[in-house]
Structure 1
Protein backbone atom coordinates (compact mmCIF):
# COMPACT_ATOMS: atom_id res chain seq x y z
CA UNK A 1 0.00 0.00 0.00
CA UNK A 2 1.12 3.55 -0.64
CA UNK A 3 1.55 5.71 2.44
CA UNK A 4 0.72 9.37 2.82
CA UNK A 5 2.71 11.66 5.07
CA UNK A 6 2.40 11.10 8.81
CA UNK A 7 0.91 14.14 10.50
CA UNK A 8 2.50 15.36 13.75
CA UNK A 9 0.78 14.37 16.96
CA UNK A 10 0.82 17.94 18.32
CA UNK A 11 -0.17 17.06 21.89
CA UNK A 12 1.59 17.85 25.13
CA UNK A 13 1.77 14.81 27.42
CA UNK A 14 -0.24 15.03 30.64
CA UNK A 15 2.21 13.81 33.27
CA UNK A 16 2.05 13.99 37.04
CA UNK A 17 3.05 12.42 40.33
CA UNK A 18 0.86 12.89 43.40
CA UNK A 19 -1.19 15.41 41.44
CA UNK A 20 1.84 17.56 40.49
CA UNK A 21 3.01 17.95 36.91
CA UNK A 22 6.55 16.95 35.99
CA UNK A 23 8.62 17.53 32.90
CA UNK A 24 8.41 15.08 30.00
CA UNK A 25 12.21 14.65 29.99
CA UNK A 26 11.90 13.08 33.45
CA UNK A 27 9.12 10.71 32.44
CA UNK A 28 10.99 7.44 33.00
CA UNK A 29 12.16 7.69 36.61
CA UNK A 30 12.03 10.60 39.01
CA UNK A 31 13.88 8.60 41.64
CA UNK A 32 14.12 5.04 42.89
CA UNK A 33 10.81 5.31 44.74
CA UNK A 34 8.62 6.33 41.79
CA UNK A 35 6.97 4.16 39.13
CA UNK A 36 5.50 5.88 36.08
CA UNK A 37 2.50 4.33 34.33
CA UNK A 38 1.99 5.32 30.70
CA UNK A 39 -1.60 5.24 29.50
CA UNK A 40 -4.03 7.21 27.38
CA UNK A 41 -6.71 9.63 28.64
CA UNK A 42 -9.33 7.54 26.83
CA UNK A 43 -12.29 6.75 29.04
CA UNK A 44 -11.45 3.06 29.41
CA UNK A 45 -7.79 3.63 30.36
CA UNK A 46 -8.57 6.48 32.75
CA UNK A 47 -11.30 4.36 34.33
CA UNK A 48 -8.89 1.49 34.99
CA UNK A 49 -6.27 3.74 36.60
CA UNK A 50 -8.70 5.74 38.75
CA UNK A 51 -7.91 3.90 42.00
CA UNK A 52 -4.18 4.41 41.52
CA UNK A 53 -4.58 8.09 40.71
CA UNK A 54 -6.63 8.59 43.89
CA UNK A 55 -4.17 6.50 45.97
CA UNK A 56 -6.86 3.96 46.82
CA UNK A 57 -4.57 1.31 45.37
CA UNK A 58 -0.80 1.56 45.51
CA UNK A 59 2.51 -0.26 45.47
CA UNK A 60 4.14 -0.41 48.92
CA UNK A 61 7.28 1.72 49.09
CA UNK A 62 6.64 3.52 45.79
CA UNK A 63 4.91 6.60 44.50
CA UNK A 64 2.83 6.10 41.37
CA UNK A 65 3.03 8.61 38.54
CA UNK A 66 0.96 8.86 35.37
CA UNK A 67 2.17 9.80 31.90
CA UNK A 68 -0.86 10.29 29.66
CA UNK A 69 -0.67 10.51 25.87
CA UNK A 70 -2.70 9.22 22.96
CA UNK A 71 -2.09 5.55 22.24
CA UNK A 72 -0.04 6.08 19.07
CA UNK A 73 2.37 8.35 20.96
CA UNK A 74 2.70 5.61 23.58
CA UNK A 75 3.31 3.10 20.79
CA UNK A 76 6.20 5.24 19.56
CA UNK A 77 7.57 5.83 23.05
CA UNK A 78 7.49 2.11 23.85
CA UNK A 79 10.24 1.51 21.28
CA UNK A 80 12.63 3.40 23.57
CA UNK A 81 11.79 1.22 26.57
CA UNK A 82 11.78 4.32 28.79
CA UNK A 83 8.48 3.90 30.58
CA UNK A 84 8.49 1.25 33.34
CA UNK A 85 4.81 0.47 32.71
CA UNK A 86 2.81 1.40 29.63
CA UNK A 87 -0.28 0.69 27.59
CA UNK A 88 0.25 0.05 23.89
CA UNK A 89 -1.69 -1.23 20.92
CA UNK A 90 -1.47 -5.03 20.82
CA UNK A 91 -0.15 -4.80 17.26
CA UNK A 92 2.92 -2.95 18.53
CA UNK A 93 4.14 -5.71 20.86
CA UNK A 94 6.36 -7.59 18.36
CA UNK A 95 8.51 -4.46 17.95
CA UNK A 96 8.87 -3.78 21.69
CA UNK A 97 8.96 -7.31 23.13
CA UNK A 98 12.67 -6.96 23.85
CA UNK A 99 11.83 -4.20 26.35
CA UNK A 100 8.56 -5.41 27.89
CA UNK A 101 6.47 -8.24 29.26
CA UNK A 102 2.66 -8.33 28.97
CA UNK A 103 0.40 -8.16 32.02
CA UNK A 104 -2.54 -10.57 32.11
CA UNK A 105 -4.78 -7.68 33.16
CA UNK A 106 -5.49 -4.30 31.61
CA UNK A 107 -6.09 -5.43 28.03
CA UNK A 108 -8.65 -3.72 25.81
CA UNK A 109 -10.60 -6.60 24.33
CA UNK A 110 -13.78 -6.71 22.27
CA UNK A 111 -16.01 -9.65 21.46
CA UNK A 112 -17.50 -9.28 17.99
CA UNK A 113 -16.95 -5.52 18.02
CA UNK A 114 -13.99 -3.22 17.47
CA UNK A 115 -12.66 -0.44 15.24
CA UNK A 116 -15.10 0.78 12.59
CA UNK A 117 -14.33 1.74 9.01
CA UNK A 118 -16.63 4.61 8.02
CA UNK A 119 -17.33 6.91 5.10
CA UNK A 120 -19.28 10.09 4.57
CA UNK A 121 -21.60 8.64 1.95
CA UNK A 122 -22.73 5.10 1.28
CA UNK A 123 -19.69 3.00 0.43
CA UNK A 124 -19.36 -0.79 0.25
CA UNK A 125 -16.37 -2.87 1.31
CA UNK A 126 -15.50 -3.66 -2.30
CA UNK A 127 -15.61 0.05 -3.12
CA UNK A 128 -12.82 0.69 -0.60
CA UNK A 129 -10.31 -0.60 -3.14
CA UNK A 130 -8.05 2.17 -4.35
CA UNK A 131 -9.47 4.65 -1.85
CA UNK A 132 -7.52 6.80 0.60
CA UNK A 133 -8.27 5.73 4.17
CA UNK A 134 -7.57 7.87 7.24
CA UNK A 135 -5.74 5.70 9.78
CA UNK A 136 -5.31 6.63 13.48
CA UNK A 137 -1.66 5.59 13.70
CA UNK A 138 0.83 3.37 11.92
CA UNK A 139 1.28 1.09 14.94
CA UNK A 140 -2.34 0.71 16.00
CA UNK A 141 -4.11 -2.64 16.04
CA UNK A 142 -6.84 -1.11 13.89
CA UNK A 143 -4.35 -0.57 11.07
CA UNK A 144 -3.01 -4.11 11.40
CA UNK A 145 -6.56 -5.47 11.28
CA UNK A 146 -7.30 -3.40 8.19
CA UNK A 147 -4.18 -4.78 6.49
CA UNK A 148 -5.37 -8.30 7.33
CA UNK A 149 -9.05 -7.95 6.40
CA UNK A 150 -9.28 -4.90 4.14
CA UNK A 151 -8.41 -4.36 0.47
CA UNK A 152 -4.69 -4.43 -0.26
CA UNK A 153 -4.51 -1.42 -2.56
CA UNK A 154 -5.89 1.30 -0.27
CA UNK A 155 -3.76 4.36 0.41
CA UNK A 156 -3.36 5.04 4.15
CA UNK A 157 -3.38 8.61 5.42
CA UNK A 158 -1.88 8.44 8.90
CA UNK A 159 -3.41 11.07 11.19
CA UNK A 160 -4.10 11.65 14.87
CA UNK A 161 -6.97 9.48 16.10
CA UNK A 162 -9.20 12.53 16.58
CA UNK A 163 -8.46 13.78 13.07
CA UNK A 164 -9.89 10.69 11.35
CA UNK A 165 -13.45 12.06 11.28
CA UNK A 166 -12.40 15.52 10.09
CA UNK A 167 -10.18 13.96 7.39
CA UNK A 168 -13.19 12.10 6.01
CA UNK A 169 -15.45 15.13 6.38
CA UNK A 170 -13.16 17.52 4.53
CA UNK A 171 -12.28 15.11 1.74
CA UNK A 172 -8.67 14.34 2.60
CA UNK A 173 -9.75 10.69 2.80
CA UNK A 174 -12.72 8.79 1.38
CA UNK A 175 -12.95 6.52 4.43
CA UNK A 176 -11.50 6.34 7.91
CA UNK A 177 -10.89 3.91 10.76
CA UNK A 178 -12.47 5.09 14.00
CA UNK A 179 -11.09 4.13 17.41
CA UNK A 180 -12.28 4.70 20.94
CA UNK A 181 -15.67 6.34 21.42
CA UNK A 182 -15.95 6.94 17.68
CA UNK A 183 -16.84 3.28 17.28
CA UNK A 184 -20.19 3.84 18.97
CA UNK A 185 -20.82 7.47 17.99
CA UNK A 186 -20.15 7.49 14.24
CA UNK A 187 -23.81 7.31 13.19
CA UNK A 188 -24.61 10.30 15.41
CA UNK A 189 -21.73 12.09 13.71
CA UNK A 190 -23.23 11.49 10.27
CA UNK A 191 -20.95 8.69 9.06
CA UNK A 192 -21.87 5.51 7.23
CA UNK A 193 -20.51 2.21 8.52
CA UNK A 194 -18.51 0.43 5.82
CA UNK A 195 -16.92 -2.40 7.78
CA UNK A 196 -16.54 -3.52 11.39
CA UNK A 197 -13.03 -4.84 11.89
CA UNK A 198 -14.18 -6.45 15.13
CA UNK A 199 -16.87 -8.42 13.35
CA UNK A 200 -14.45 -9.39 10.56
CA UNK A 201 -12.02 -10.69 13.17
CA UNK A 202 -14.67 -12.67 15.03
CA UNK A 203 -16.03 -14.22 11.83
CA UNK A 204 -12.53 -15.36 10.88
CA UNK A 205 -11.27 -16.53 14.28
CA UNK A 206 -14.13 -16.92 16.77
CA UNK A 207 -11.82 -15.26 19.31
CA UNK A 208 -12.00 -12.02 21.28
CA UNK A 209 -10.17 -9.18 19.55
CA UNK A 210 -7.04 -8.00 21.40
CA UNK A 211 -6.77 -4.26 20.75
CA UNK A 212 -4.50 -3.04 23.55
CA UNK A 213 -2.27 -4.52 26.23
CA UNK A 214 -0.48 -3.23 29.33
CA UNK A 215 3.24 -3.89 29.67
CA UNK A 216 5.94 -3.98 32.38
CA UNK A 217 9.58 -3.27 31.63
CA UNK A 218 12.00 -6.20 31.60
CA UNK A 219 14.41 -4.00 33.55
CA UNK A 220 12.12 -4.26 36.57
CA UNK A 221 12.81 -7.17 38.92
CA UNK A 222 10.39 -10.09 39.05
CA UNK A 223 9.04 -9.30 42.53
CA UNK A 224 8.30 -5.65 41.74
CA UNK A 225 6.86 -6.55 38.33
CA UNK A 226 4.46 -8.90 40.09
CA UNK A 227 3.46 -6.16 42.55
CA UNK A 228 2.80 -3.80 39.65
CA UNK A 229 0.61 -6.37 37.90
CA UNK A 230 -1.28 -7.08 41.13
CA UNK A 231 -1.83 -3.37 41.79
CA UNK A 232 -3.08 -2.86 38.23
CA UNK A 233 -5.59 -5.67 38.71
CA UNK A 234 -6.72 -4.23 42.05
CA UNK A 235 -7.25 -0.83 40.42
CA UNK A 236 -9.35 -2.35 37.64
CA UNK A 237 -11.46 -4.32 40.10
CA UNK A 238 -12.00 -1.24 42.28
CA UNK A 239 -13.19 0.80 39.29
CA UNK A 240 -15.65 -1.89 38.24
CA UNK A 241 -16.99 -2.12 41.79
CA UNK A 242 -17.27 1.70 42.08
CA UNK A 243 -18.33 2.43 38.54
CA UNK A 244 -19.99 5.82 38.96
CA UNK A 245 -17.10 7.53 40.77
CA UNK A 246 -14.50 5.98 38.46
CA UNK A 247 -16.54 6.98 35.41
CA UNK A 248 -16.85 10.58 36.62
CA UNK A 249 -13.06 10.72 36.77
CA UNK A 250 -12.61 9.01 33.41
CA UNK A 251 -14.94 11.44 31.64
CA UNK A 252 -13.27 14.50 33.17
CA UNK A 253 -10.64 14.64 30.43
CA UNK A 254 -12.97 16.48 28.08
CA UNK A 255 -13.38 14.10 25.15
CA UNK A 256 -16.94 15.34 24.61
CA UNK A 257 -18.77 12.08 25.29
CA UNK A 258 -21.94 12.12 27.40
CA UNK A 259 -22.20 9.95 30.55
CA UNK A 260 -24.43 7.27 29.04
CA UNK A 261 -22.26 6.81 25.96
CA UNK A 262 -19.21 6.92 28.21
CA UNK A 263 -20.59 4.17 30.40
CA UNK A 264 -21.43 2.06 27.34
CA UNK A 265 -17.93 2.48 25.94
CA UNK A 266 -16.20 1.70 29.24
CA UNK A 267 -18.28 -1.42 29.75
CA UNK A 268 -17.38 -2.55 26.24
CA UNK A 269 -13.65 -2.39 26.90
CA UNK A 270 -13.26 -2.82 30.66
CA UNK A 271 -14.70 -6.29 31.01
CA UNK A 272 -13.90 -9.79 32.25
CA UNK A 273 -11.20 -10.08 29.58
CA UNK A 274 -9.60 -6.94 31.01
CA UNK A 275 -9.46 -8.55 34.44
CA UNK A 276 -7.70 -11.60 33.00
CA UNK A 277 -7.02 -12.28 29.33
CA UNK A 278 -6.71 -15.99 30.14
CA UNK A 279 -5.84 -18.68 27.64
CA UNK A 280 -8.33 -17.29 25.15
CA UNK A 281 -6.62 -13.91 25.24
CA UNK A 282 -3.23 -15.49 24.70
CA UNK A 283 -4.64 -17.49 21.78
CA UNK A 284 -6.09 -14.29 20.32
CA UNK A 285 -2.72 -12.53 20.44
CA UNK A 286 -1.03 -15.52 18.85
CA UNK A 287 -3.67 -15.57 16.11
CA UNK A 288 -3.32 -11.83 15.47
CA UNK A 289 0.42 -12.11 14.95
CA UNK A 290 0.07 -15.32 12.93
CA UNK A 291 -2.38 -13.67 10.52
CA UNK A 292 -0.03 -10.69 10.25
CA UNK A 293 2.82 -13.01 9.26
CA UNK A 294 0.57 -14.76 6.72
CA UNK A 295 -0.30 -11.37 5.19
CA UNK A 296 3.36 -10.38 5.04
CA UNK A 297 2.82 -7.49 7.44
CA UNK A 298 4.92 -9.04 10.22
CA UNK A 299 8.15 -10.94 9.70
CA UNK A 300 8.47 -13.08 12.82
CA UNK A 301 6.16 -14.28 15.58
CA UNK A 302 7.02 -12.75 18.97
CA UNK A 303 7.31 -14.88 22.08
CA UNK A 304 4.45 -14.01 24.43
CA UNK A 305 5.83 -13.37 27.91
CA UNK A 306 2.84 -12.80 30.20
CA UNK A 307 2.86 -11.90 33.91
CA UNK A 308 -0.17 -13.36 35.67
CA UNK A 309 -1.72 -10.77 37.99
CA UNK A 310 -3.23 -12.00 41.25
Structure 2
Protein backbone atom coordinates (compact mmCIF):
# COMPACT_ATOMS: atom_id res chain seq x y z
CA UNK A 1 0.00 0.00 0.00
CA UNK A 2 1.33 3.43 -0.89
CA UNK A 3 2.10 6.07 1.70
CA UNK A 4 -0.83 8.41 2.37
CA UNK A 5 -0.49 12.09 3.17
CA UNK A 6 -2.35 13.04 6.35
CA UNK A 7 -2.99 16.67 7.24
CA UNK A 8 -3.75 17.38 10.88
CA UNK A 9 -3.10 20.21 13.29
CA UNK A 10 -0.15 20.63 15.70
CA UNK A 11 -2.60 21.08 18.57
CA UNK A 12 -2.21 18.68 21.52
CA UNK A 13 -5.41 16.77 20.82
CA UNK A 14 -4.27 15.80 17.31
CA UNK A 15 -0.66 15.00 18.15
CA UNK A 16 -1.91 12.91 21.09
CA UNK A 17 -4.55 11.06 19.07
CA UNK A 18 -2.51 10.40 15.92
CA UNK A 19 0.91 9.83 17.50
CA UNK A 20 0.66 6.03 17.35
CA UNK A 21 -0.39 6.02 13.71
CA UNK A 22 2.30 8.53 12.78
CA UNK A 23 5.10 6.53 14.41
CA UNK A 24 3.97 3.03 13.47
CA UNK A 25 2.97 1.88 16.94
CA UNK A 26 -0.18 0.05 15.85
CA UNK A 27 -0.76 -2.99 13.67
CA UNK A 28 -1.78 -1.65 10.27
CA UNK A 29 -0.65 -1.73 6.66
CA UNK A 30 -1.25 2.03 6.49
CA UNK A 31 1.79 4.28 6.30
CA UNK A 32 1.29 8.02 6.52
CA UNK A 33 3.26 11.14 5.77
CA UNK A 34 2.00 13.69 8.32
CA UNK A 35 1.63 17.38 7.43
CA UNK A 36 0.85 19.58 10.44
CA UNK A 37 -1.03 22.78 9.65
CA UNK A 38 -3.51 25.18 11.24
CA UNK A 39 -7.10 23.99 10.83
CA UNK A 40 -8.12 26.84 8.53
CA UNK A 41 -5.14 26.12 6.30
CA UNK A 42 -6.29 22.49 6.14
CA UNK A 43 -9.78 23.71 5.26
CA UNK A 44 -8.38 25.80 2.40
CA UNK A 45 -6.16 23.07 1.01
CA UNK A 46 -9.08 20.65 0.96
CA UNK A 47 -10.61 22.69 -1.86
CA UNK A 48 -7.88 21.24 -4.08
CA UNK A 49 -7.90 17.76 -2.57
CA UNK A 50 -4.27 18.22 -1.56
CA UNK A 51 -4.06 15.47 1.08
CA UNK A 52 -5.21 11.86 1.00
CA UNK A 53 -6.45 12.24 4.58
CA UNK A 54 -7.18 15.49 6.33
CA UNK A 55 -8.73 16.98 9.39
CA UNK A 56 -11.50 19.41 8.44
CA UNK A 57 -13.79 21.75 10.33
CA UNK A 58 -17.37 20.56 10.16
CA UNK A 59 -18.14 24.09 9.02
CA UNK A 60 -15.99 23.45 5.92
CA UNK A 61 -17.68 20.23 4.80
CA UNK A 62 -20.06 21.93 2.38
CA UNK A 63 -17.22 23.82 0.68
CA UNK A 64 -15.23 20.71 -0.26
CA UNK A 65 -18.17 19.21 -2.13
CA UNK A 66 -17.57 15.63 -3.18
CA UNK A 67 -13.78 15.72 -2.72
CA UNK A 68 -13.76 14.12 0.73
CA UNK A 69 -15.69 11.53 2.72
CA UNK A 70 -16.06 11.74 6.50
CA UNK A 71 -14.57 8.89 8.54
CA UNK A 72 -16.16 7.79 11.79
CA UNK A 73 -12.93 7.84 13.81
CA UNK A 74 -10.64 10.70 14.80
CA UNK A 75 -13.32 13.38 15.12
CA UNK A 76 -13.44 16.26 17.60
CA UNK A 77 -16.92 16.46 19.11
CA UNK A 78 -18.35 16.60 22.56
CA UNK A 79 -20.00 18.55 25.34
CA UNK A 80 -18.39 21.67 26.76
CA UNK A 81 -15.96 21.89 23.84
CA UNK A 82 -17.33 24.87 21.94
CA UNK A 83 -15.61 28.09 20.87
CA UNK A 84 -15.94 31.28 22.93
CA UNK A 85 -16.46 34.94 22.13
CA UNK A 86 -14.26 37.09 24.36
CA UNK A 87 -14.03 40.84 24.96
CA UNK A 88 -11.96 43.33 26.98
CA UNK A 89 -14.86 44.25 29.27
CA UNK A 90 -17.97 42.26 30.23
CA UNK A 91 -20.73 42.54 27.63
CA UNK A 92 -23.46 40.58 25.91
CA UNK A 93 -23.02 38.73 22.62
CA UNK A 94 -25.14 41.35 20.85
CA UNK A 95 -22.83 44.09 22.11
CA UNK A 96 -19.73 42.08 21.21
CA UNK A 97 -20.74 41.62 17.56
CA UNK A 98 -21.69 45.27 17.12
CA UNK A 99 -18.06 45.98 16.24
CA UNK A 100 -15.25 44.16 14.47
CA UNK A 101 -14.85 40.52 15.54
CA UNK A 102 -11.64 38.57 14.92
CA UNK A 103 -12.38 35.05 13.67
CA UNK A 104 -10.07 32.06 13.05
CA UNK A 105 -11.41 31.53 9.51
CA UNK A 106 -14.66 31.71 7.59
CA UNK A 107 -14.79 27.95 7.10
CA UNK A 108 -14.26 27.03 10.72
CA UNK A 109 -17.04 25.49 12.74
CA UNK A 110 -16.55 28.33 15.21
CA UNK A 111 -17.54 30.92 12.63
CA UNK A 112 -20.52 28.86 11.53
CA UNK A 113 -21.73 28.66 15.12
CA UNK A 114 -21.23 32.39 15.57
CA UNK A 115 -23.30 33.14 12.46
CA UNK A 116 -26.10 31.00 13.88
CA UNK A 117 -25.99 32.52 17.35
CA UNK A 118 -25.47 36.13 16.19
CA UNK A 119 -27.03 36.67 12.74
CA UNK A 120 -26.56 40.42 13.19
CA UNK A 121 -22.78 40.01 12.91
CA UNK A 122 -21.51 42.21 10.09
CA UNK A 123 -17.81 42.92 10.59
CA UNK A 124 -15.45 39.95 10.84
CA UNK A 125 -11.73 39.90 10.17
CA UNK A 126 -9.83 36.66 9.70
CA UNK A 127 -6.59 35.99 11.53
CA UNK A 128 -4.66 32.99 12.75
CA UNK A 129 -6.31 31.62 15.88
CA UNK A 130 -3.30 32.21 18.11
CA UNK A 131 -3.25 35.95 17.31
CA UNK A 132 -6.82 36.64 18.35
CA UNK A 133 -6.37 37.10 22.10
CA UNK A 134 -3.69 39.73 21.57
CA UNK A 135 -5.83 41.48 18.94
CA UNK A 136 -8.64 41.83 21.46
CA UNK A 137 -6.32 42.91 24.27
CA UNK A 138 -4.69 45.58 22.10
CA UNK A 139 -8.07 46.97 20.96
CA UNK A 140 -7.37 46.02 17.35
CA UNK A 141 -10.84 44.42 17.39
CA UNK A 142 -13.82 44.65 19.71
CA UNK A 143 -14.21 40.91 20.24
CA UNK A 144 -12.54 37.65 19.38
CA UNK A 145 -13.85 34.21 18.44
CA UNK A 146 -11.42 31.80 20.08
CA UNK A 147 -10.75 28.09 19.62
CA UNK A 148 -8.26 25.44 20.73
CA UNK A 149 -6.19 26.20 23.83
CA UNK A 150 -7.24 29.87 23.90
CA UNK A 151 -10.31 28.88 25.88
CA UNK A 152 -7.95 27.98 28.75
CA UNK A 153 -5.78 31.10 28.58
CA UNK A 154 -8.04 34.06 27.71
CA UNK A 155 -8.42 35.09 31.36
CA UNK A 156 -4.63 35.43 31.58
CA UNK A 157 -4.99 38.25 29.04
CA UNK A 158 -7.55 40.03 31.22
CA UNK A 159 -10.39 39.15 28.84
CA UNK A 160 -14.00 38.21 29.55
CA UNK A 161 -16.31 35.59 28.07
CA UNK A 162 -19.31 37.07 26.26
CA UNK A 163 -20.70 33.67 25.29
CA UNK A 164 -19.75 30.02 25.13
CA UNK A 165 -21.06 28.97 21.71
CA UNK A 166 -20.83 25.34 22.73
CA UNK A 167 -23.25 25.94 25.58
CA UNK A 168 -25.50 27.88 23.20
CA UNK A 169 -25.50 25.03 20.66
CA UNK A 170 -26.20 22.37 23.28
CA UNK A 171 -29.11 24.35 24.71
CA UNK A 172 -30.54 24.86 21.21
CA UNK A 173 -30.12 21.27 19.98
CA UNK A 174 -29.44 18.98 22.94
CA UNK A 175 -26.60 17.57 20.82
CA UNK A 176 -22.82 17.49 21.18
CA UNK A 177 -20.81 20.23 19.47
CA UNK A 178 -19.41 18.91 16.17
CA UNK A 179 -16.10 20.71 15.71
CA UNK A 180 -14.06 18.72 13.21
CA UNK A 181 -13.67 15.33 11.57
CA UNK A 182 -11.11 13.27 9.70
CA UNK A 183 -11.90 12.90 6.02
CA UNK A 184 -10.52 10.64 3.29
CA UNK A 185 -10.23 11.82 -0.27
CA UNK A 186 -13.15 10.40 -2.20
CA UNK A 187 -10.95 8.77 -4.83
CA UNK A 188 -9.28 6.45 -2.29
CA UNK A 189 -10.21 2.81 -2.75
CA UNK A 190 -12.99 1.68 -0.42
CA UNK A 191 -10.82 -0.94 1.28
CA UNK A 192 -8.11 1.66 1.88
CA UNK A 193 -10.57 4.07 3.46
CA UNK A 194 -11.89 1.27 5.67
CA UNK A 195 -8.39 0.38 6.86
CA UNK A 196 -7.58 4.06 7.48
CA UNK A 197 -10.67 4.41 9.65
CA UNK A 198 -9.71 1.29 11.63
CA UNK A 199 -6.12 2.47 11.99
CA UNK A 200 -7.13 5.91 13.25
CA UNK A 201 -9.46 4.32 15.78
CA UNK A 202 -6.63 2.06 16.93
CA UNK A 203 -4.32 5.09 17.23
CA UNK A 204 -6.83 6.92 19.44
CA UNK A 205 -7.28 3.81 21.60
CA UNK A 206 -3.50 3.47 21.90
CA UNK A 207 -3.37 7.07 23.09
CA UNK A 208 -5.96 6.34 25.76
CA UNK A 209 -4.12 3.18 26.83
CA UNK A 210 -0.65 4.78 26.79
CA UNK A 211 -1.20 8.48 27.59
CA UNK A 212 2.49 9.15 28.29
CA UNK A 213 3.76 7.70 25.00
CA UNK A 214 3.03 10.84 23.00
CA UNK A 215 4.29 13.35 25.58
CA UNK A 216 7.44 14.38 23.67
CA UNK A 217 5.58 14.63 20.35
CA UNK A 218 2.83 16.72 21.92
CA UNK A 219 5.33 19.02 23.64
CA UNK A 220 7.41 19.41 20.46
CA UNK A 221 4.39 20.80 18.59
CA UNK A 222 2.66 22.68 21.40
CA UNK A 223 4.59 25.94 20.97
CA UNK A 224 4.78 27.51 24.43
CA UNK A 225 1.81 25.81 26.04
CA UNK A 226 2.27 24.56 29.58
CA UNK A 227 1.91 20.88 30.43
CA UNK A 228 -1.27 21.77 32.31
CA UNK A 229 -2.87 23.45 29.28
CA UNK A 230 -1.83 20.56 27.05
CA UNK A 231 -3.47 18.11 29.43
CA UNK A 232 -6.67 20.19 29.60
CA UNK A 233 -6.72 20.46 25.83
CA UNK A 234 -6.39 16.71 25.33
CA UNK A 235 -8.95 15.84 28.01
CA UNK A 236 -11.50 18.19 26.45
CA UNK A 237 -11.17 17.33 22.78
CA UNK A 238 -10.20 13.63 22.73
CA UNK A 239 -13.08 11.53 24.01
CA UNK A 240 -15.40 8.66 23.10
CA UNK A 241 -16.51 10.51 19.95
CA UNK A 242 -12.88 10.36 18.77
CA UNK A 243 -13.13 6.56 18.68
CA UNK A 244 -16.46 6.65 16.89
CA UNK A 245 -18.57 9.69 16.06
CA UNK A 246 -21.68 7.85 17.23
CA UNK A 247 -25.35 8.35 16.52
CA UNK A 248 -25.72 11.69 18.31
CA UNK A 249 -22.47 12.90 16.76
CA UNK A 250 -23.73 12.18 13.25
CA UNK A 251 -27.02 13.90 14.08
CA UNK A 252 -25.09 16.95 15.28
CA UNK A 253 -23.00 17.09 12.11
CA UNK A 254 -26.08 16.83 9.89
CA UNK A 255 -27.82 19.51 11.93
CA UNK A 256 -24.92 21.94 11.67
CA UNK A 257 -24.09 21.34 8.01
CA UNK A 258 -27.69 21.61 6.86
CA UNK A 259 -28.61 24.77 8.73
CA UNK A 260 -28.85 27.21 5.83
CA UNK A 261 -29.11 30.25 8.11
CA UNK A 262 -25.32 30.01 8.56
CA UNK A 263 -24.58 30.09 4.84
CA UNK A 264 -24.21 33.82 4.49
Q: Shorter-chain TM-score: what band?
A: over 0.9
2:13 to 28, 33, 44: 44
Cα shift readout 1:200-248 (whole Å, capped 9, x = no counterpart): 0001001000000100111110111111111111111101111122244
Structure 1 stretches of 4+ with a deviation exceeding 3 A read none
What is the CA distance between 1:128 and its match in structure 2?
2.0
Tell me if structure 2 keeps the 8 A contact 1:112–1:199: yes
1:224 to 192, 197, 208: 192
Matched, 1:258 2:233: no
109-118 or 220-229, larger mean C-alpha shift: 109-118
What is the CA distance between 1:297 and its match in structure 2?
1.1
User: C-alpha distance in 2, partners of 1:53/1:239?
Assistant: 12
Structure with the greater relative contact order (CA < 8 A, sep ≥ 6): 1 or 2?
2
1:190 to 158, 163, 178: 158
What is the CA distance between 1:296 and its match in structure 2?
5.3
Matched, 1:56 2:25: yes
Compute the RMSD of aligned alpha carbons: 1.5
Tell me if structure 1 keeps the 8 A contact 2:87–2:96: no
What is the CA distance between 1:58 and its match in structure 2?
5.5
2:133 to 142, 148, 165: 165
Q: How many aligned residue pairs are there?
A: 264
What is the CA distance between 1:261 and its match in structure 2?
2.0
Cα shift readout 1:38-83 (whole Å, capped 9, x = no counterpart): 10101111111110222102642x5321011100000000011121
What is the CA distance between 1:264 and its match in structure 2?
1.5
User: C-alpha distance in 2, partners of 1:159/1:104?
Assistant: 30
Judged with a 3 Å threshold, the aligned counterparts in structure 2 of structure 1 residues 262 and 254 are, in CA distance, closer, same or farther, namely: closer
- In the alignment, what sits opposite 2:4? 35
User: C-alpha distance in 1, partners of 2:27/2:182?
Assistant: 17
Look up the SS of the partner of 1:243 in the other structure.
coil
User: C-alpha distance in 2, partners of 1:296/1:126?
Assistant: 17
- In the alignment, what sits opposite 1:116? 84
Look up the SS of the partner of 1:49 in the other structure.
helix
Tell me if structure 1 keeps the 8 A contact 2:82–2:166: yes
User: C-alpha distance in 2, partners of 1:195/1:46?
Assistant: 28
Tell me if structure 1 keeps the 8 A contact 2:112–2:262: no
- In the alignment, what sits opposite 2:247? 279
102-111 or 69-78, larger mean C-alpha shift: 102-111
User: C-alpha distance in 2, partners of 1:203/1:85?
Assistant: 33
Judged with a 3 Å threshold, the aligned counterparts in structure 2 of structure 1 residues 296 and 107 are, in CA distance, closer, same or farther, namely: closer
Greater fraction helix: 2
Tell me if structure 2 keeps the 8 A contact 1:133–1:173: yes
Judged with a 3 Å threshold, the aligned counterparts in structure 2 of structure 1 residues 129 and 177 are, in CA distance, closer, same or farther, namely: closer
Q: Which runs of 5+ in 2 are unaligned?
A: none
Q: Which runs of 5+ in 1 are unaligned?
A: 1-31, 299-310
- In the alignment, what sits opposite 2:67? 99
